[in-house]
Amino acid sequence: MIDRSEIENNVTPEQLAKRTLIPQEKKMKKRRSLVKGIIYALLILTAIICFIPFLMMLVNATRSNDAILTGFTLIPGTALMENYRTMMEYVNIWNGFKNSLIISVLVTLLTGYFSALTAYGFAFYTFKGKNFLFVFMLVMMMVPGQLGLIGFYELCKNLGILDTFIPLIVPAVASPFVVFFLRQYIQTTLHPSLIEAARIDGASELRIFHTVAIPIMMPAVATMSIFTFIGSWNNYIMPLVILFSPEKYTLPVLMGFLKGSQVAQNLGSMYLGIAISVVPIMIAFLFLSKYIVNSISAGAVKE
Amino acid sequence: MKNLNRYGYAFIAPFWIIFLIFNIYPVALTFYYSFTNYSGSGTAEVVGFANYQRLIADSYFVEAFFNTWKIWGVNFALQIVIALILAMIFSDARVKMKGLSFFRSIFYLPNLITVSSVALLFGILLDWQHGSLNMVLMNIGIISEPINWLNQPTTAQLSVSLILTWMWFGHSFIVVMAGVSGISTDFYEAALIDGANRWQTFTKITLPLLKPILLYIMITSLIGGLQLFDLPMLLTDGIGSPDGSLNTMVLYLYNQAFKYNNYGYAAAVAYGLFIITVIFSAIVFKSMYGNERKQARRV
């Protein structure tokens, strides 16, 4: 009896539609599958439009400058190695890759660790001025990065850290949004009694953080780390302002440098340079796409 | 307990030390510079509100303001319409489309790519004589003459808008889908029983219930859009050509500070941009939630 009423309640719209299907509507059903086909075709077309710039990039990266100038085809050329040599003569793209990787990895580690530390401090201790500091942090979260750009540049000049990686890495210790996200997360996932238990066992506060809080926070830290990494990897204006020496350029700045260099004369090499900066991200996305998509959904709904 | 409170300060101390030095101090310093004629070297002389007076009367800044809005507006309208149509297709219980995760990934892909790479890529794809886009369009027969995309104000702005749409509609789609899947199916069942058609279901149920999500997309997109920099910087010559049509507010800020060494004035541009962002975020927020309060009162 109970089972039956439950089934009744769980009727999905399609089932409902099926149940009310009368013979005359069979024609409509046929029409529906036609419409469905058209929609699929349009979706595939949209997907192709999404992907075609990348495809053009990949194909053109293998073609010689002369071939690109005369016309476009989707058949790959044979000038890949030649393009590569031309590009490397003027711009060492792997160096930019290395710089970007060093900065992004360190930024991600610093942001993850110190944001967790701060979030834990905000969530599990009561101290004077806590609420004020938290609200102040939230307000500062709304301030766009460009607001302090000029002051930031001056500060770095006075500290003598222009043209180093320090201004691009160290500020990652303070990431208000990540702190906010992690505090919300740990407040719902870590029960204070667990901390009390650890205290009774004689663990120090920092040890409790490392052995109890961090493992529990890990999924949220991982989610945030993806976006921290991407944000740092793609950051353009900061390294553009801070770095002067081409050998220190990050990949995005190097892209701008590529455009102004001799390489721009050879379109094949240009395409290849862009492709090298793009393909690793595409490969990473292949493995992480589901995770990234879920993270975006979760982030939006929670707010 | 007293003992433990001290630990609280210790835990948040590293954050606040770095935050004060690298975030709050630069913001305050920029504020100070906005009242000076600092030029990057020498001493800064306080000039009062002169920079702000100049800002309001500066036709280049006003132009940058409207350019930014035009480019963002076209992109946002397109991106949100596409995202809503896609969400409508994939959430329709009667049609039951498959392949959601596949299409979602493909649509989202352009968003992950470094903007400077995107700018460079489109810079050569859209090239007037040798760009692949013109070649393809001419091959298919859509156009007979190559279009000089990046050298005419209207097409240049349109190009940036479309590139932004290309980059962002997948992201909006994911967020809208997340919102749609949060809507209880009870509403849709009730609508089905009442004989509502797709359009009615969409406008009377989906849209109103998506309001908070749409607000979230709009405000985050607006804040990002007002900071538009990488694309216009790298797509043409870095100062907003053709005819200043790609001159955006942050590009203007950057050029004033680091190209022309007008640090004081650039600081005022930064604060002008900040004030504009706050005002428009507030307007968006008010217009979406103010209505609701009025309606609630009427009921």
Prediction pTM value? 0.88
Q: Does residue B13 lie within any of the structural domains? A: no
Cis peptide before B242 (omega within 30 of 0): yes
**Residue B293's pLDDT band (boundaries 50, 70, 90)?**
low
* Interface probe with B: pick from A109, A150, A177, most Cβ of B within 10 Å: A150
Q: Does residue B14 lie within any of the structural domains? A: no
Determine contact, residues B114/A251, Cβ cutoff 8 Å.
yes
* Interface probe with A: pick from B19, B111, B174, most Cβ of A within 10 Å: B19
Residue with tokens 């310093």: B29
DSSP three-state, residue A22: coil
Tell me what pLDDT residue A160 has: 95
Q: Does residue B42 lie within any of the structural domains? A: no
Cα–Cα distances (Å) from A247 to A103, A161, A165, A190, A270, in that order, read 14, 16, 12, 46, 19
**Rounded mean pLDDT, B64-90:** 94
DSSP three-state, residue A79: coil
Contact B89 A209 (CB under 8 A): no
Q: Does residue B178 lie within any of the structural domains? A: yes
Contact B270 A125 (CB under 8 A): no
What share of chain B has pLDDT > 70, as a percent? 96
Distance CA B228, CA A33 (A): 43
Using a CB–CB cutoff of 8 Å, tell me whether B165 touches chain A.
no
The residue ranking higher by pLDDT, B215 or A19, is: B215
Segments forming the whole domain that contains residue B189: 61-298
The minimum CA-CA distance between A5 and chain B, rounded to whole Å, is 16
* Interface probe with A: pick from B3, B7, B11, B269, most Cβ of A within 10 Å: B11
Contact A154 B26 (CB under 8 A): yes
Q: How buried is residue A96: exposed, middle or buried, by Cβ count under 10 Å (0-12/13-18/19+)? A: buried
Q: Which among B14, B28, B112 has the least Cβ separation from residue A173?
A: B14
The minimum CA-CA distance between A191 and chain B, rounded to whole Å, is 17
In sequence order, what are the residues at sequence separation of 6 or more whose Cβ sits closer than 8 angstroms to the Cβ of residue A96? A249, A250, A251, A253, A254, A277
ipTM of the complex: 0.87
Virtual torsion, Cα B85, B86, B91, B94, nearest 10 deg:
70
Cα–Cα distances (Å) from A150 to A39, A158, B187, B262, in that order, read 50, 12, 52, 10
Which two three-digit tokens encode residue B90? 């994939």
Q: What is the pLDDT of residues B231-278, one digit of tens each?
A: 999 998 888 888 899 999 999 999 999 999 999 999 999 999 999 988
Using a CB–CB cutoff of 8 Å, tell me whether B97 touches chain A.
yes
Which two three-digit tokens encode residue B63? 């132009």
Distance CA B179, CA B87 (A): 10
Residues 203 through 262 of chain A touching chain B, CB cutoff 8 Å? 205, 209, 230, 233-234, 236-237, 241, 251-253, 255-256, 258-259
Q: Percent helix, strand and coil across chain B, each rounded to 5?
A: 75, 0, 25
Using a CB–CB cutoff of 8 Å, tell me whether B189 touches chain A.
yes
Determine contact, residues B236/A259, Cβ cutoff 8 Å.
no
The minimum CA-CA distance between A156 and chain B, rounded to whole Å, is 9
Instruction: Report the CATH number that the domain containing residue B118 is assigned in CATH.
Output: 1.10.3720.10
Q: Does residue B216 lie within any of the structural domains? A: yes
CB contacts of A209 in chain B (<8 Å) are 11
Contact B135 A278 (CB under 8 A): no
Tell me what pLDDT residue A302 has: 57
CB contacts of A72 in chain B (<8 Å) are 132, 135-136, 139
In sequence order, what are the residues at sequence separation of 6 or more whose Cβ sits closer than 8 angstroms to the Cβ of residue A283? none
Using a CB–CB cutoff of 8 Å, tell me whether B162 touches chain A.
no
CA nearest to B164 within chain A: A50
Q: Does residue B28 lie within any of the structural domains? A: no
Q: Does residue B47 lie within any of the structural domains? A: no
* Interface probe with B: pick from A11, A48, A146, most Cβ of B within 10 Å: A146
Count of domains for chain B: 1
**Residue B172's pLDDT band (boundaries 50, 70, 90)?**
very high
Residues 254 through 283 of chain B touching chain A, CB cutoff 8 Å? 254, 257-258, 263, 266-267, 270-271, 273-274, 277-278
The minimum CA-CA distance between B203 and chain A, rounded to whole Å, is 18
Which two three-digit tokens encode residue B262? 């007008």
Distance CA A170, CA B22 (A): 9
Tell me what pLDDT residue A11 has: 54
Using a CB–CB cutoff of 8 Å, tell me whether B116 touches chain A.
yes
Determine contact, residues B51/B264, Cβ cutoff 8 Å.
yes
Tell me what pLDDT residue A303 has: 47
Task: Write down all domains in chain A, each with its CATH number in brackets.
Answer: 2-76 (no CATH), 92-260 (1.10.3720.10)
Q: Which among A127, A148, A297 has the least Cβ separation from residue B30?
A: A148
DSSP three-state, residue B46: strand
Using a CB–CB cutoff of 8 Å, tell me whether A29 touches chain B.
no
Maximum Cα–Cα distance across chain B: 80
Size of interface A-B (CB pairs under 8 A): 291
Q: Does residue B45 lie within any of the structural domains? A: no
Q: What is the mean pLDDT of each run of 10 residues along chain A (303 residues)?
A: 45 55 66 85 92 90 88 85 91 92 96 96 91 90 85 95 96 94 90 91 92 92 90 92 94 90 88 90 86 80 56
